[in-house]
Amino acid sequence: MTDAYTRLATAASEWDELAPRLPPDDLHRLALRLRAWRTSTGATARDAALGAARLLGELLPDRFPGGNRLVTTPDAPAGEHLGFRAEDLAVLLLDGHRMVGPVLGEVRDRLLAAPSLGDEEVLRTGCDPNAPALIRLRATGGPTRLPSFQFTPDGRLRDTVRDVNLLLDADGDPWGAADWWLSPNAWLDAEPALLLGTADEPRLPETARLLTEGE
């Protein structure tokens, strides 16, 4: 017997090779099953995971042989393969970004754990949540989260954040920009986001510029 979650994790780890082999209609069918798994709980979620894993076997029998000899276990819903998790396949196919795997998956979890706001919360303060100078992260399940360090206490976009995010191309690489703000910086001896509102805030644009000039 093969664990269905492990099959999903294995597919995530090999997605660059497997995805081109699937026509759009088959990708859509797989996406529907993954969405059903993600939005369900308990036995219903396990059945949806089984359905997604079995479909992979039907679509890619050379890679996932064994027919329907699949199981799911309530105490091991994550499933892992080479550091990839079953959820990573849903992130790749439903959320449309590549923050998955043993390294980037942990970065994704860390960045999404930081305090953040949703679109409606940002709108209520009069700020445009779709402004190109804002970091927008696609959370697991699809909702967009905007790290809250970007805003002043009254909800305005911080000028320094706007300037730095434009330098870092936050619109094109939101995860990279968020990681810069929320990771220790050797030049600043601190996480850049922690320096907002301090005497060191003016150093942030120049430090970001040094990074971009070195690319």
- The domain segmentation of the chain, as residue ranges, is 2-96, 108-213
pLDDT confidence of residue 68: 63
Cβ count near 211 (within 10 Å): 14
The answer to whether residue 78 scores a pLDDT higher than 80 is no
Q: Which two tokens mark 87?
A: 């959820």
Q: If DSSP codes are grouped into helix, strand and coil, which group holds residue 40?
A: coil
193 and 182 in contact (C-beta within 8 Å)?
yes
Residue in the structure block whose two tokens are 């996480």: 191
54: confidence class by pLDDT, cuts 50, 70, 90 = very high
DSSP state of 43: H
Q: What type of residue sits at position 131? A: A
Q: What is the pTM of this model?
A: 0.80
Closest CA to 46 of 67, 75, 26: 75
Q: Tens of pLDDT along 163-183?
A: 999 999 999 899 999 999 999
Whole-angstrom distance, CA of residue 3 vs CA of residue 13:
16
Share of the chain above pLDDT 70, in %: 94
Whole-angstrom distance, CA of residue 79 vs CA of residue 139:
20
